[in-house]
Amino acid sequence: MTRRLLSAAALAAIAALSSPTAAQEEVYLQVTSPGLKRVVIAVPDPPARIGVDPRGAGDFLSALRADLQSTAVVGLLEEERAKLVEVDPASPVLTRQRWRAVGAQFLLETGLTGAGAQLVADTRVWDLASGEVAYSRRLQGPATLAATMAHTLANEVVRLFTGRPGPFLSRIAFISDRSGAKEVWVMRWDGSEAQQITSHRSIALSPTWSSGGQWLAFTSFLRGAPQLFLLRPTEGYLKPISALPGVNSSPAFSPDGRLVAFASGPDGNTDIFVVARDGGTPTRLTAGRSIETQPAWSPSGRQIAFTSTASGNPQIWLMDAEGSNLRRLTFQAQFADEAAWSPDGVRVAFTTLIERKFQIGILDLRSGEQSVVAGPGNNESPCWSPDGTMLAFVSDRSGTKQIFLTDPVGVPRQITAAGNNAQPSWVTQLQ
Partner 1 sequence: MPMTRVLVVSVCAAALFFAPGCSRPKPVVAPEVPVAPQEETAPEPIPATGGTAQVEPEPTIAPAQVPEAGIEGGELPTDLAELNKAGFLKNAFFDTNKADLRDDARDALAANAAWLKTHPTVRISIEGHCDERNTGEFNLALGWRRANSTKAYLVSLGIGAERISTISYGEEKPFSTCHEERCWSENRRAHVVIVGR
Q: Which of the residues 52 through 111 are near partner 1 (CB under 8 A)?
A: 69, 75, 77-78, 80-81, 84-86, 88-94, 97-98, 101-105, 111
Nearest to partner 1 of 182, 347 (CB atom): 182
**Closer residue to partner 1 in complex, CB, 129/368:** 129
Query: What is the smallest separation between the CB atom of 233 and partner 1, expressed in angstroms?
Result: 5
Using alpha carbons, select from 266, 245, 226 the residue that is nearest to residue 217. Answer: 226
Nearest by Cα to 290 from 310, 265, 306? 310
From the list 236-244, 276-284, 320-328, 367-375, the region that binds partner 1 by CB under 8 A is 236-244
Q: What are phi and psi of 258, to 5 degrees?
A: -90, -20
Q: What does the per-residue mask of binding to partner 1 show for 118-147, with x meaning CB under 8 A?
A: ----xxx--------x-xxxxxxx---x--
Residue from 386, 376, 381, 387 nearest 412 by CA: 376
Work out how close the CB of 259 gets to partner 1 at its nearest, in angstroms, rounded to a whole number: 19
Residue 101 vs 418, nearer CB to partner 1: 101
Site for partner 1 in 12-31 (CB under 8 A): none
Alpha helices by DSSP H, listed for 232-318, are: none
Residue 334 DSSP class = S
Q: Residue 227 carries which side chain, given as an amino acid letter?
A: Q
In the complex, least distance from residue 430 CB atom to partner 1, rounded to whole angstroms: 5
Instruction: Give the distance, in angstroms, between the CA of residue 364 and the centroid of all CA atoms in the same chain.
Output: 18
Which residue among 52, 112, 154, 186 contacts partner 1 (CB under 8 A)? 186
How far apart, in whole angstroms, are the C-alpha atoms of residue 17 and residue 20?
10
When binding is defined by CB under 8 A, the residue of 10, 14, 205, 362 that contacts partner 1 is 205
Residue 50 or 90: which CB sits closer to partner 1?
A: 90
Task: Count residues near partner 1 (CB under 8 A).
Answer: 104
Q: Which of residues 290-309 bind partner 1 (CB under 8 A)?
A: 291, 293-294, 307
Amino acid identity at 128: L
> Does residue 398 interact with partner 1 by CB under 8 A?
no
Q: Which of residues 243-272 bind partner 1 (CB under 8 A)?
A: 246-247, 249-250, 263, 267-270
Contact residue for partner 1 among 32, 199, 311, 398 (CB under 8 A): 199
**CA gap 111, 123 in Å, rounded:** 6
Residues 6+ apart with CB under 8 A from 314: 291, 307, 308, 335, 336, 337
Residue 294, SS3? strand
Of 38, 39, 32, the closest CA to residue 11 belongs to 32
Q: What whole-number distance in Å separates Cα of residue 122 and Cα of residue 120?
A: 6
Residues of this chain, 345-374, that bind partner 1 according to CB under 8 A:
351, 358
Nearest to 297 by CA among 324, 327, 260: 260
Q: Which stretch binds partner 1 (CB under 8 A): 148-156, 320-328, 363-371, 383-391?
A: 148-156
